[in-house]
Amino acid sequence: MQKAYKLSIIYYLVFSLLLISSAVMLFEYKIGFSYGEVVDYYLGNEDKFIPTKSTSGILKTALPHIFSFGLISMVLLHFLVFTKLRYKKSTLTVIYLTFLTAILEIFTPMLIVNGFEFAAFLKLLSFFVFLALILYVSWLLLHSIVYD
């Protein structure tokens, strides 16, 4: 692998780590990490003065996330395809899981506001699994750069 290619991957990994860190902090600050906090955030809570989220409001939030989640996933997974791991079946599984969890993370609020409160568990699970997969792919890329 060329030095310039390795350097660009390292820069992207640093920015990805910063993005993941800010995502965790914002999610905790804005929504929270418990089932009740997720339900309250989307369905509202009069006692805590939290308004109910509308479908159009969720869609306005989802639209930029579709682009950004797709972009970070595509770039990281694209880099992964250029490593020695490209022919492993597990790499294909990681690719599919990353995009599936990104889609679930973006669209589970629609389920919550439309009466499927159990989707709050799915929202939390997809959030953490998506971030874990991004971190795992980042680690694989860093490992391939260092030991290549």
Residue 26 near residue 41 (C-beta atoms within 8 A): no
Q: What is the dihedral of CA 90, 91, 92, 95, to 10 degrees?
A: 120
Q: Would you state the structure tokens that stand for residue 25, as one six-digit string? A: 């902090």
∠ CA 111-44-62, nearest 5°, is 45
Using DSSP, state whether 116 is helix, strand or coil. coil
Percent of the chain with pLDDT over 90: 82
Q: How many CB atoms lie within 10 A of CB 32?
A: 15
What is the per-residue pLDDT for 147? 83
Tell me the residue range of the domain where 28 lies: 3-146
| Separation of alpha carbons 11 and 28, rounded Å | 26
> What pLDDT is recorded for position 83?
85
Yes or no: say if 113 and 41 are a contact pair by the CB < 8 Å rule. Answer: no
Q: Is 145 exposed, middle or buried (0-12, 13-18, 19+ CB in 10 A)?
A: middle
According to the model, what pLDDT value does residue 1 have? Answer: 63
Quick one: pLDDT at residue 84? 85
Q: How many domains does the chain have?
A: 1
What pLDDT score does 88 carry?
Answer: 83
Report field, pTM of the whole predicted structure over 0.85: yes
Q: Mind listing the pLDDT tens digit for each residue in 39-82?
A: 999 999 999 999 999 999 999 999 999 999 999 999 999 998 88
CA distances from 113 to 52, 89, 96, 137 (A): 8, 37, 27, 32
Beta strands in 18-98, from DSSP E residues, in sequence order:
none
pLDDT, averaged in runs of 10, over the chain (148 residues)? 84 94 96 96 94 95 94 93 83 94 96 95 97 96 87
Helix H or strand E segment including 25:
helix 3-30
